[in-house]
Amino acid sequence: MKWQIGDVTITKLVEITSASLGEYILPDASTVALRKIDWIGPFLDADSRMVLSFHSLIVQTTDRLVIVDTCIGNDKTRNYPRWNRMQSSFRSDLKDAGFEEDAFDTVLCTHMHVDHVGWNTYRNDDRWLPTFKNARYLYAREEWDHWQVESQEEYGPVIEDSVQPIFDLGLADLVESSHCVSDEIRLVPTTGHTPGHVSVHISSRGEEAIITGDVFHHPCQIAHPTWCATADSDQDAALRTRKAFLSAYADRPVLCIGTHFAGVTAGKLVSDGETYRLDY
């Protein structure tokens, strides 16, 4: 799946999809409540359960090749059974999509959760090596600082196997949450899900897109922004960010690309009575 924003091409590369995590991540989003959202069908399975997609978004400008979020990864020790020592075809799928790992100059992580940093590294014997060895890996400074004192023990040794090796090899850059990557790509601070969480804004030739990160885990939160995720480090801040995000981008010609939105994945945010919907 691809989108064109002026001279910028954005390509979606899926690692896995799942309908097993929805009610754990968003406990307010029962199947009964979801069925009441009349536009939500493409983002549910046949049993009206939320489908989540775990994918990377590749942003290609005239002179830059950037990958945003690197999914879950293979061979990682994880406490969630399906992800534990997973074996996905991510790397071969990337090549089949026409992208060579060595051609990427930038890796952007919206935050450092387990499903956003996994393919930062790959296992080689007993070492974790950078998947994108010619890239600079950009992290918001607040995010890195947060994980120096917090842990992800719920998921496994995420920082140890997917982030720390990048720093050890001198490939990481700590940047501000509003950092400009290039003329077309800049970070937008969207704190709440984690303290240093960012979204990614793309603009070219008068056209715009925004990659959400985990401001939203599922499009149902567009209709119900008060439905908070269990994984939010600060649910009150995450709620304020969702409301501000909707206010800033709704009813504008900005393509909203969901980091976990399955199916069509992207659309325009539009007002819908007292709330919002995704127009796809």
Question: Which CATH fold would you assign to the domain 2-279?
Answer: Metallo-beta-lactamase; Chain A (3.60.15)
pLDDT for the residue numbered 153: 73
Whether residue 65 contacts residue 105, with contact meaning beta carbons closer than 8 Å, is answered with yes
Whether residue 200 contacts residue 210, with contact meaning beta carbons closer than 8 Å, is answered with yes
Give the mean pLDDT of 23-35.
93
Residue 151 has pLDDT above 80, yes or no: no
Task: Give the model confidence (pLDDT) of 68-93 as tens digits.
Answer: 999 999 999 999 899 999 999 999 99
The ranges assigned to domains in the chain are 2-279
Give the mean pLDDT of 119-136.
97
pLDDT for the residue numbered 152: 72
Whether residue 242 contacts residue 210, with contact meaning beta carbons closer than 8 Å, is answered with no
Give the mean pLDDT of 140-158.
88
Q: What is the pTM of this model?
A: 0.94
Whether residue 70 contacts residue 110, with contact meaning beta carbons closer than 8 Å, is answered with no
Give the mean pLDDT of 196-221.
98
pLDDT band, residue 15 (cuts 50/70/90): very high
